[in-house]
Amino acid sequence: MSAFDNMLVRNKEFAAHVSSEGTPMPSLPESLPYVKSLIITCADMRVDPAHVLGVDLGEAVVMRNIGGRITPGLIEQIGMLGRIGQVAGETPGGGGEFHIVILQHTDCGITRLAGDSALLANYFQIPETELEAKTVLDPRSAIAMDVAALRAITALPASWIISGVNYDVTTGLAEVVVPPAPLRTA
């Protein structure tokens, strides 16, 4: 059986489980206060929050890109997420705490692109001369800089909580690099 065939078999098992347990979230709720967490992480197949952090269905919005980095494209999507809430008359986390988790990891494939400065500069939408500041070779440093990048976006609510986590692909342990704190102090 191909990998794809296997996926379809597992989906049938999943659907059978869902129908026996009762569908947990059959439609997107009218409002977004249920969104309590946004996890920004790498597309790497070893770093799926459903496994690594045990994130359950409907528990968090997960956005993944190469490196789990804050890029203009990702910021645009955070804005769209907020807009989906505005259309429903809510903001994510409305009435409660909203937590953004930046989850990057060791041995990230983005480090193999370090020599391709034109590609990375385009990804981050910065001049190649500023690439060094993105510290693609050092996840801890990259996490700190991406947390700072989100803090600098004043359009995001100051009360949103942000934290930064480095996942070690060899030990399976998630290390808190930036402890949870509001985006900005009032």
Q: Which stretches of the chain bind Zn ion, using CB under 5 A? A: 42, 44, 108
Q: Measured from the CB of residue 5, what is the shortest distance to Zn ion in angstroms?
A: 28
- Between 111 and 163, whose beta carbon lies closer to Zn ion? 111
- Between 160 and 167, whose beta carbon lies closer to Zn ion? 167
- Between 42 and 183, whose beta carbon lies closer to Zn ion? 42
Record the tokens describing residue 114, joined without a space.
Answer: 């370090």
Q: Measured from the CB of residue 42, what is the shortest distance to Zn ion in angstroms?
A: 3
Q: Measured from the CB of residue 121, what is the shortest distance to Zn ion in angstroms?
A: 19
- Between 52 and 100, whose beta carbon lies closer to Zn ion? 52
Torsion of CA 47, 49, 50, 51, to 10 degrees: 50
Q: Which of 77, 82, 79 is nearest to 35 (CA)?
A: 82
Q: What are phi and psi of 42, to 5 degrees?
A: -80, 150
- Between 136 and 150, whose beta carbon lies closer to Zn ion? 136
What distance in Å separates the CA atoms of residue 38 and residue 100, rounded to the nearest whole number? 5
Q: Measured from the CB of residue 178, what is the shortest distance to Zn ion in angstroms?
A: 18
* E strand residue ranges, 2-70: 37-42, 61-65
37-42 sheet: strands from edge to edge: 61-65, 37-42, 99-105, 161-167, 174-182
Alpha helix segments (H runs only) across 88-178: 117-124, 139-151
- Between 41 and 91, whose beta carbon lies closer to Zn ion? 41
Q: Measured from the CB of residue 103, what is the shortest distance to Zn ion in angstroms?
A: 10
Q: Measured from the CB of residue 137, what is the shortest distance to Zn ion in angstroms?
A: 12
Percent of residues in the chain assigned helix, strand, coil, to nearest 5: 40, 20, 40
